[in-house]
Amino acid sequence: MKVFFKTTIYKFQLGITILLLISSCNTSNNNFKLVNNRNNDLNKVINHRWHETDTSIALYRHENLIWQYNFKTKKGKPYFHPININNITLSELSPKDHPWHLGIWHSWKFINGVNYWEYNQSEGSKPWHYDGQTELRSLKIKKGKNYSCIFELDIAYHKLNNPDVLTEKRTIKVSAPDENSAFTIDYAFNFTAIAETVRLDRTPLPHERNGKDWGGYTGLSVRFNNNLTPSSFIYADGSTTLGHGKSNAWAYYGLKDVNNNTIGTAIFDHPKNYNHPTPWYVTTDRDAPLYYLGPAPIFNDPHLMKANDKLFLKYRLKFYTGKVIYNQLKKDWEDYSLP
């Protein structure tokens, strides 16, 4: 009886000891996973760094530049360039065919008949002289600990040495990059008419008076790297052809590099935007080459404003690596557009 009792106690104690050991191991594993997660987050921070000058701010991962925002340059407008996705340069700056194309940028074409898009190319004009001035009056930069970034800009539109006709408050939010250095850029534009009347216009379409085949462009724009090759298009309505001039809630433009690697850009037109779903200006001229994508809210008609009228526009640019399918883009659009 005593032997049996002692044996039973021994087995019970042994069982408790084993359970404690198992519990200790599980806790250690959980702690190990927690430490690993913290190390991964720490690595993400350590691997990135800012580079700032008087005219630009850039984000690097190790020695590889991810994006650069240029806000005080001779080219007359703030712009992103270069944009590098998975170490592939997406954007093009001032190509010979259109030197006023500035990577990723925003510009009106005509305001009250004055050209704000192209610089004055007439003989005797100063380099990079625009008849219509897009004047950056103030800029605030807020850098996130996770390497996101917010830009707040005050911009005025006017002829040189003339009063303002239009002002703008612009907010740009750049997300933290993922493991492929892909990210999003959210634009919010808030325009206010200052002049008694403001007419936002574009080069006329072919069927209009003095119309041109290339008419309709204006607004937020992406000029893609000339060394890439267009490979695919996907639109909100499911179409996969060029889609120039057609209205859609969003558009995706995919490209390949010389090694057949695919990167691409989607632009999502916010549902509260003027003229939503927006017409799109899209080109794939391989002869120039000229690869371009942009929402064109006044593609079909000019927009008239009276003094103190407001115009709000919001867009998200999202960059992708590898093959992209419709359902993925639809979900990304819903994540942006739905409350």
Same domain, 36 and 94: no
Rounded Cα distance between 145 and 49, Å, is: 11
Shared domain check, 1 and 130: no
Please report the sign of the dihedral spanned by the C-alpha atoms of residue 120, residue 122, residue 128, residue 131.
negative
15, two tokens? 């069982």
Q: Is residue 228 part of a domain?
A: yes
Of the pLDDT bands very low, low, confident and very high (cuts 50, 70, 90), residue 45 is: low
> What is the pLDDT of the chain when averaged over all its residues?
89
Residue 172 has pLDDT above 50, yes or no: yes
Q: How confident is the model at residue 4 (pLDDT cuts 50, 70, 90)?
A: very low
Same domain flag for 7 and 108: no
Which tokens is 160 given?
């040189």
- Give the pLDDT confidence score for residue 27 in this predicted structure: 42
Tokens of 83: 């944009």
Residues 288 and 215 in one domain: yes
C-alpha 210/C-alpha 26 separation (Å) is 76
Q: For residue 297, tell me if it sits in a domain.
A: yes
Whole domain around residue 36: which residue ranges? Answer: 1-46
- Domain identity same for 40 and 92: no
C-beta atoms surrounding 264 within 10 Å: 28
Confidence category of residue 46, pLDDT binned at 50, 70, 90: low
Count Cβ atoms below 10 Å from residue 143 Cβ, excluding itself. 14
Residue 157 confidence (pLDDT): 98
Residue 165, domain member (yes or no): yes
What is the total count of domains within the chain?
2
> At residue 169, does pLDDT exceed 70?
yes
Whole-number percent of the chain with pLDDT over 70: 86
* 211 and 321, same domain (yes or no): yes
Average pLDDT over residues 271-287: 96
In this structure, are residues 315 and 220 in contact, taking their beta carbons and an 8 Å threshold?
yes
**Residue 144 in tokens:** 């996130």
Instruction: Give the mean model confidence (pLDDT) for residues 191-209.
Output: 97
Which one of 26-30, 119-123, 127-131 scores highest in mean pLDDT? Answer: 127-131
Residues 38 and 90 reside in one and the same domain: no
Is pLDDT above 90 for 319?
yes
Q: Which of the 8 DSSP states describes residue 60? A: E
Q: What number is the average pLDDT over the span 178-183?
A: 92
For residue 67, being part of any structural domain is answered with: no
Q: Read off the pLDDT of residues 249-266 as tens digits, 9 standing for 90 and up.
A: 999 999 999 999 999 999
Confidence of residue 307 (pLDDT cuts 50, 70, 90): very high
